[in-house]
Amino acid sequence: MKAIFLALAAIGSAQAADRLTITASHDLAQARPAETITVPWAEVNRALPGAMLQHIVVRDAAGKPLPYQVTNVLPEAKDPQGKGIAYGELIFQHDFAAGEHSATFTVEKSDALTPPFPSKVFARYVPERLDDFAWENDKVGHRTYGPALAAPAAPGSGKEVLVTSGLDIWFKRVDYPIVDRWYNKGHDHYHKDEGEGMDMYNVGRSRGAGGVGIWDGKQLYTGRNYAAWKVLANGPVRAIFELSYEGWDAGGFRVSEVKRFTVDAGHYLDQIDSTFTFSGPAQLTAAVGLNKDPTDKGQSPVVTPGRAAGSLSQWVEQKSNGAFGVAVILPTASGYAEDSLNELITAPVVSGKALRYYVGAAWTRGGEFASKAEWDKYIAAETARVRSPLKINLSSQ
Determine the average pLDDT of the residues in 72-99. Answer: 73
| Number of domains forming the structure of the chain | 2
Task: Please answer whether residues 96 and 266 qualify as being in contact, where contact means their C-beta atoms are separated by less than 8 angstroms.
Answer: no
Same-domain status, 51 and 99: yes
Same-domain status, 183 and 273: yes
Average pLDDT of the chain to the nearest whole number: 93
Does 257 map to a domain?
yes
Q: What is the residue range of 103's domain?
A: 5-111+389-396
Determine the average pLDDT of the residues in 137-152. Answer: 98
Does 116 map to a domain?
no
Q: Over 60: is that where the pLDDT of 139 sits?
A: yes
Does 64 map to a domain?
yes
Same-domain status, 131 and 106: no
Q: Over 50: is that where the pLDDT of 12 sits?
A: no
Q: How confident is the model at residue 186 (pLDDT cuts 50, 70, 90)?
A: confident
Q: How confident is the model at residue 14 (pLDDT cuts 50, 70, 90)?
A: very low
Task: Indicate the residue type of 169.
Answer: I
DSSP label at 118? Answer: P
Q: Over 90: is that where the pLDDT of 80 sits?
A: no
Same-domain status, 64 and 34: yes
Side-chain-side CA neighbours of 227 within 13 Å: the count stands at 10
Does 353 map to a domain?
yes
Same-domain status, 288 and 155: yes
Q: Over 90: is that where the pLDDT of 114 sits?
A: yes
Q: How far apart are CA 102 and CA 81, in angstroms?
A: 34
Q: Over 70: is that where the pLDDT of 366 sits?
A: yes
Does 320 map to a domain?
yes
Q: What is the dihedral of CA 87, 89, 92, 94, to 10 degrees?
A: 160
Percent share of the chain, pLDDT over 90: 89
What CATH number should be reported for the domain holding residue 234? 2.70.98
Task: Please answer whether residues 71 and 232 qualify as being in contact, where contact means their C-beta atoms are separated by less than 8 angstroms.
Answer: yes
Q: What is the pTM of this model?
A: 0.94
Same-domain status, 173 and 89: no
Q: How far apart are CA 189 and CA 172, in angstroms?
A: 14
Same-domain status, 212 and 308: yes
Q: Which residue has the higher pLDDT, 322 or 72?
A: 322
Angle 5-109-26 (CA atoms, 0-180°, nearest 5)? Answer: 20
Does 374 map to a domain?
no
Does 381 map to a domain?
no
Diameter of the chain measured on Cα atoms: 73
What length does the chain have?
397
Q: Which residue has the higher pLDDT, 2 or 207?
A: 207
Confidence (pLDDT) at 74: 63
Note the pLDDT tens digit of each residue in 194-214: 999 999 999 999 999 999 999
Note the pLDDT tens digit of each residue in 323-336: 999 999 999 999 99
Q: Which residue has the higher pLDDT, 83 or 162?
A: 162
Confidence (pLDDT) at 72: 85
Q: How confident is the model at residue 6 (pLDDT cuts 50, 70, 90)?
A: low
Which residues neighbour 318 within 8 Å (Cβ) at sequence distance 6 or greater? 200, 295, 299, 300, 301, 324
Confidence (pLDDT) at 16: 63
Same-domain status, 137 and 234: yes
Q: Over 60: is that where the pLDDT of 77 sits?
A: no
Does 271 map to a domain?
yes
Note the pLDDT tens digit of each residue in 35-57: 999 999 999 999 999 999 999 99
Determine the average pLDDT of the residues in 300-314. Answer: 95
